[in-house]
Structure 1
Amino acid sequence: MRFEGAGRQQNFDIATVGPRNNETRPRWSAADGNKSAILAKLRKSTGMKPMITIRPARAGDADALPDIEQSAGLAFRAIPELAWLADGDNVSPQRHRELIAEGTCWIAVDDKDRPVGFLSAGIEGETLHIWEFDVRLNRQGSGIGRALLERAIKDARRRGLAAVTLTTFRDVAWNAPFYRKFGFHILEGAEIDERLASLLSGEAEHGMPAARRCAMRLELAKPDTR
């Protein structure tokens, strides 16, 4: 889903996407034998999807991210007037490496540590700006995008940032309507600062339909330091 926008990691940097509270979780004992083999058989017989882990991206992940963006972009083929976006240019691995170096890129990986989604952002003043946010087409609708966005918002709060921003489509179901569920609101008129206005203008110059694009912002509550 195109949402338009190294070394060992510590445990607090890792989150998993798995069964919800009302879903059955398998229980294991020493008698069960090889857990991985049993889980693989269970997935094959029940259609259960592999556990997804959200972690900070590493430099070595960068080369895999353009392919995920390309896969996610295929969803636009369902919208005739935006179908051309499915064949658009992707963010370069070098740009991803720059964002990864800033510590503002997170990826979703399967149980074999293969990337299936990512969120690349950057710190702009007192805001975290989401540059690119994609989930591989065949993994959409399983909560991966939600988990990635929640991870980025959590990190922005931890850093004491004032807000999270992005530009996106107003009327594409997996764009602005998706972000509204997390508290983002569309900026209008004087609410759009110079930085976001410049981004929207640049998008229009590259063929994006200006009337359908918008800037969004999520205000973050400042942590109580009393």
Structure 2
Amino acid sequence: MLAIIGGSGLTQLANLNVIRREVVRTPYGEPSGALTFGQLCEHPVVFLARHGYGHTIPPHRVNYQANLWALKEAAVEIIISVASVGGIRADMCPGTLVVPDQIIDYTWGRKNTFHEGTDEPVVHIDFTEPYDAAVRRRILAAAAAAGEKVFDGAVYAATQGPRLETAAEINRLERDGADVVGMTGMPEAALARELGIPYAAINVVANYAAGRADSSQRICFDSIETALHEAMGRARKVLDHLCSV
């Protein structure tokens, strides 16, 4: 079964044929919402809105442990994250779809492992390639089949939020090698790796990051909504094609 975690701009899948919704309790508390089970192009899918179905949970308050544990309990085999980001690189303009291949984690204070009990041994995971290569290939193939242009590879900078970054912070991220910036990529990717669930992401560029192009002086939230709505429609199209093969 495929799991899709939707971020800002994707709190539901319009084409999902809903079969049931299930409230899940986990050892780590409650997930962001009920799991929605259904079929997308006749492929079994479970959907979870990362920020809650009313978009009420800020990035630093998302219970990533509970979300990933609930999906594991639902026996999902693949997780695809859909998340909005800011474009740092000049060619990653609003409306662009990106399939990242690397992460830099700038978050702090988030529960970022399932292995932290006092009687548990220390567990290290290999995180050299944070996104699953096979799942990335499936996304890229689906985008090609859908006729949608996507960037193959980018460095995702995960920041704490919920505020957006300063121009100086974006300059720092660029010097560090980041191409896009978001707030939810970590610890989600690492927790999926701990659970052994292949995980990859579709990033939707909602705006230029602070200090870049039309965000050089300020970020216009009205234009973010417009760009996000259009690009999320294209991301849904990619997901449809991914589920139809």
TM-score, normalization: structure 1?
Answer: 0.30
Higher relative contact order (CA 8 A, sep 6+): 2
Larger proportion of helix = 1
In terms of Rg, which structure is larger? 1
Structure 2 length-normalised TM: 0.29
